[in-house]
Amino acid sequence: MLEQKLSIEELEEIAKKVRVGIIEAVYSNKSGHPGGALSIADIVTVLYFYEMNIDPKNPRAENRDRLVLSKGHACAALYSALAYRGYFPVEELKKFRNINGMLQGHPDLKKISGVDMSTGSLGQGLSAANGMAMAAKLDNKDYRTYCILGDGEIEEGQIWEAAMAAKKYKLDNLCVIIDNNNLQIDGTIEEVMSSYPIDEKFRSFGFEIIKIDGHNIEEIIKAFEVAKNIKGKPTCIIAKTIKGKGVSFMENQASWHGKAPNEEEYKKALEEILK
């Protein structure tokens, strides 16, 4: 954890850098998933630069907070946050999805400093996060576990099995964040397989529900603070987000789920993020 808490304005500037890192990574090897990475940029910024108890110099510290990015294809956001937080050089982002680089298309905890769980097979991350949260309780540790899920990903049945387990074991040290950008690879959530109403579903599974604007840094901070004070049950933060947030031609476009920008688009994206 940083010795001194950053201001809202400072965090907003870091979120811009995280977005730049996402675009740099996806453009460099002409491959990746920019839409869903940009939609969680503000959330991972708050987690890694404000909320989580972590230390880049000791990435495997036993009592560190954990993050499971269950929607592993959005790893460009995680990698960018880790790079700017000091886990590895920012220049490594330009080797994203390159056979000669360490940052492959989905997180690998064995090869990447700061990654707590290898993910990518959608639906499995919450089960892993449950295990981490349960281990903390069994070992009388006070670290917290955060798990980012996609709103399309929660169509997977394993998510709901894991949700039942989280309630059963009263995992109040577990905080689930739903990236509710309303789009997945084949279209809107409603068109593919509606998971709505997300709040009522998770509430019926025993979660405390917090609904926020996933691009409002202050709301994100307050939500995590509320979550830390919930006792006896897990928390689900439903973050309303915009797929491709920060880049006008990517925003709310399912076509940018898994497509890299060309040179002209790359330059325009950076210009818009940094303006």
The whole-number mean pLDDT for each consecutive block of 10 residues of the chain, a chain of 275 residues, reads 85 98 97 98 98 97 98 98 98 96 96 97 97 98 98 98 98 98 95 97 98 98 98 98 98 97 98 96
Closest CA to 36 of 69, 85, 3: 69
Residue 247: alpha-carbon gap to chain centroid: 18
- Tokens 């790079």, residue located: 83
Do the bridges between strand 235-240 and strand 208-213 make them parallel or antiparallel, or are there none, so unpaired? parallel
Tell me what pLDDT residue 1 has. 61
**Angstrom distance (rounded) from CA 146 to CA 239:** 14
In a domain, 3, yes or no: no
Q: Which amino acid is at 211?
A: K
Q: What is the CATH number of the domain that holds 215?
A: 3.40.50.970
Do the bridges between strand 187-188 and strand 208-213 make them parallel or antiparallel, or are there none, so unpaired? unpaired
Structural domain total, the chain: 1
Closest CA to 45 of 91, 9, 88, 93: 9
**Angstrom distance (rounded) from CA 231 to CA 109:** 30
Count Cβ neighbours within 10 Å for each residue of 157-184 and write b for 16 or more, e otherwise.
ebbbebbebbbeeebbbbbbbbbbbbbb
Tell me the sheet residues that pair with 237: 177, 210
Tell me what pLDDT residue 3 has. 64
Tell me the sheet residues that pair with 114: none
In a domain, 132, yes or no: yes
- Tokens 């939500």, residue located: 223
Compute how many other C-beta atoms are within 10 angstroms of the C-beta atom of residue 128: 19
Count Cβ neighbours within 10 Å for each residue of 69-78 and write b for 16 or more, e otherwise.
bbbbbbbbbb
In a domain, 161, yes or no: yes
In a domain, 212, yes or no: yes
Residue 46: alpha-carbon gap to chain centroid: 10
Q: Which two tokens stand for residue 189?
A: 């959530």
Contact 12, 217 (CB under 8 A): yes
Do the bridges between strand 145-150 and strand 66-69 make them parallel or antiparallel, or are there none, so unpaired? parallel
Tell me what pLDDT residue 4 has. 79
In a domain, 2, yes or no: no
Q: What's the pTM value of the predicted model, to 2 decimals?
A: 0.97
The whole domain housing 51 covers: 8-274
